[in-house]
């Protein structure tokens, strides 16, 4: 099968190639999916660059290259085979999910990491959802426990996770303030933010105090972020940008400081969640998506063969919302032989 393969760490043109990789075979609790679309996350950039350096010590990476050679996480496509233990999906079902190796014609995914694709979405739209949607949902619903009437600030509101966080926050009944650049003010407002802070004109640290602050950028000090949180409120630290490389700890430094501060903070909660995909979350997201409460926002699309260009755009051009890879059209896939 065709796939985007990584060899080493570095710039996209130097370490990524479009070539052949073995077609995966599903295990008893897996599904094999013909991928129609996949989306980019900051995760792909960090894995490609091996940044921050300390992350190379984690189980999925090594000092010289990621352990998994096929790039990508988010996908949407059509089931072409199911394992013997999967009883609620069948060949021909459209699904979406989050698993390593998504930038390929086929992906093997455990059933627990796959959701039934919302009937009102295209494959491109569905592929934009998994990691970003799951992260926003867990941070706001499960960790911060946002309730109606609370004031919510989303720093990084025009990014992949941010565009979902604005909409999910509003669905939970919060009064949402989004922080973004000048060119994205209209986008963030259209997603349901009641207030938008253009960081080129105003420092959000001085824009007021909020019951919940969700920081998705990692560009401000912990002290600044805590100043925005009300007494008894919640600060959620999740994610970091792609604007710099070659760092030792990157956004992990803020998470470490936040985790330490959380042990001693009596004025408010400080959370550093590590969101994981789960079937229940996909069910919740599907309900929001089919109701039209949440709508994926897509910046632009690229063919799978141009994945290097897509990642270069992500890291150099301050992409907003989601960047999506398209992988063929219905009927163009050859059904693999599953042993």
Can you give the pLDDT at residue 234?
A: 97
- Distance, CA of 2 to CA of 20 (rounded, Å): 5
Residues forming a β-bridge with 75 = 38, 97
- Distance, CA of 143 to CA of 234 (rounded, Å): 9
Can you give the pLDDT at residue 1?
A: 94
Query: Where in the chain are the domains?
Result: 2-129+296-326, 131-271
Altogether, the residues listed in the chain come to a count of 339
Q: Are residues 144 and 234 in contact, defined by beta-carbon separation less than 8 angstroms?
A: yes
Can you give the pLDDT at residue 256?
A: 65
State whether CATH 2.60.40.640 applies to domain 131-271: no
Q: Are residues 74 and 41 in contact, defined by beta-carbon separation less than 8 angstroms?
A: yes
CATH of domain 2-129+296-326: 3.90.180.10
From first to last of its 339 residues, the chain has per-residue pLDDT tens of 999 999 888 888 888 999 999 999 999 999 999 999 999 998 887 777 766 545 554 556 555 656 668 999 999 999 999 999 999 999 999 999 999 999 999 999 999 999 999 999 999 999 999 999 999 999 999 999 999 999 999 999 999 999 999 999 999 999 999 999 999 999 999 999 999 999 999 999 999 999 999 999 988 889 999 999 999 999 999 976 554 454 544 555 565 666 666 666 778 899 999 889 999 999 999 999 999 999 999 999 999 999 999 999 988 767 789 999 999 654 333 333 332
Can you give the pLDDT at residue 249?
A: 46
- Sign of the Cα torsion 45, 77, 169, 298 reads positive
- Distance, CA of 305 to CA of 327 (rounded, Å): 9
- Distance, CA of 295 to CA of 307 (rounded, Å): 24
Query: Can you tell me which residue has the tokens 């409120």?
Result: 233
Give 19-42 as a DSSP string. EE-PPP---TTEEEEEEEEEE--H
Can you give the pLDDT at residue 33?
A: 98
Which segments within 12-150 are labelled E, that is strand? 16-20, 30-39, 74-82, 94-98, 106-110, 114-116
Its pTM stands at 0.89
- Distance, CA of 12 to CA of 26 (rounded, Å): 29
Can you give the pLDDT at residue 47?
A: 76
């Amino acid at each position: 099968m065709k796939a985007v393969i990584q060899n080493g760490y570095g710039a996209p043109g130097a370490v990524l190639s479009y070539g052949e990789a073995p077609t995966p075979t599903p295990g008893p609790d897996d599904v094999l999916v013909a991928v129609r679309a996949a989306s980019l996350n900051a995760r792909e950039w960090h894995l490609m660059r091996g940044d921050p350096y300390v992350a190379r010590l984690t189980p999925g990476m090594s000092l010289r290259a990621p352990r998994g050679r096929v790039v990508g996480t988010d996908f949407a496509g059509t089931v072409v085979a199911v394992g013997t233990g999967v009883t609620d999906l069948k060949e021909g079902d459209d699904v979406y999910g989050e698993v390593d190796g998504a930038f390929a014609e086929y992906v093997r995914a455990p059933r627990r990491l796959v959701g039934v694709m919302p009937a009102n979405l295209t494959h491109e739209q569905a592929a934009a959802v998994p990691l970003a949607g799951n992260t926003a949902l867990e941070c706001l619903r499960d960790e911060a426990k946002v309730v109606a009437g609370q004031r919510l600030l989303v720093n990084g509101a025009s990014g992949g996770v941010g565009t979902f966080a604005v909409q999910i926050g509003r669905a939970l009944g919060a009064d949402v303030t989004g922080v973004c650049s000048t060119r994205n003010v209209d986008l963030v407002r259209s997603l349901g933010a009641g207030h938008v802070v253009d960081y080129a004109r105003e420092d959000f640290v001085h824009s007021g105090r909020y019951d919940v602050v969700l920081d998705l950028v990692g560009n401000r000090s912990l002290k600044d972020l805590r100043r925005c949180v009300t007494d008894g409120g919640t600060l959620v630290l999740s994610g970091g940008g792609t604007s710099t490389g070659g760092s030792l700890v990157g956004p992990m430094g803020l998470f470490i400081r936040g985790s330490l501060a959380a042990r001693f903070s009596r004025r408010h909660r400080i959370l550093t969640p590590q969101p994981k995909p789960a079937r229940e979350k996909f069910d919740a997201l599907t309900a929001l998506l089919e109701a039209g409460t949440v709508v994926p926002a897509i910046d632009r699309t690229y063919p799978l063969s141009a994945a290097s260009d897509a990642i270069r755009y992500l890291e150099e051009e301050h992409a907003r919302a989601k960047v999506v890879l398209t992988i063929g059209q219905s009927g163009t896939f050859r059904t693999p032989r599953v042993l």
